[in-house]
Amino acid sequence: MSKRALTAYLKDLKKKELEEQLVDLYQRFPLVKEYYDFVFNPKEDKLVQEAKTKIANEYFPVKRKRPKARRSVAQKYIKHFIKLGVAPSLIVDVMLFNLEIAQSFSLEKNVPDSFYKSMLNSFKEALQYAALHGFVTENKERIVKIYTLTQENNWTFSEDFSKALDLVD
């Protein structure tokens, strides 16, 4: 169904029928419920803290012995937050937290080159998103610290980290 057809269909419905459909969607689909729960009671700080806990658990697990160190976990939260409409400053915070926790992990463990490539992509995305929404200066200290650690620890692709930082400046 196209957006135009949906709009026409919704215009033909009476208010009571429309309310019933929305309640039905709310009950049937967890994503709709989550969206409306967020819209009417946006506990952004709680969501961000929950995401940070899950991301940290990927690198420094509490219940299992081996870390999974999957970048995809953080990416899913970031995409989800963007869809929900979480404040961009909080999304940038999660992006930078992901990089910081990954750097802590890399200091303790021997990681493959693919890990560094993945973190480079995360770094670029964080810088682009921060620049797009005007949060680079606000987070400059954290960004520089992340960059400095990549240089001090001779990360693979360290030149690419430098190029990504130059693009923002």
* pLDDT computed for residue 146 by the predictor: 94
pLDDT of 119: 93
pLDDT at 98: 96
Task: Give 13-61 as a 3 state SS string.
Answer: CCHHHHHHHHHHHHHHCHHHHHHHHHHHCCCHHHHHHHHHHHHHHHHCC
- Per residue in 13-71, pLDDT (tens digit) is 899 999 999 999 999 999 889 888 888 888 889 999 999 999 999 999 988 888 888 88
Q: Determine the pLDDT at residue 42.
A: 85
Q: At what angle do helices 30-40 and 71-84 cross, to 10 degrees?
A: 60
CA distance 131 to 112: 29
| Domains of the chain by residue range | 1-40, 42-168
pTM of the predicted protein model: 0.84
The CA distance from 72 to 102, in Å, is 12
* C-alpha separations of 119 from 3, 17, 18, 110, 150 in Å: 38, 49, 46, 15, 10
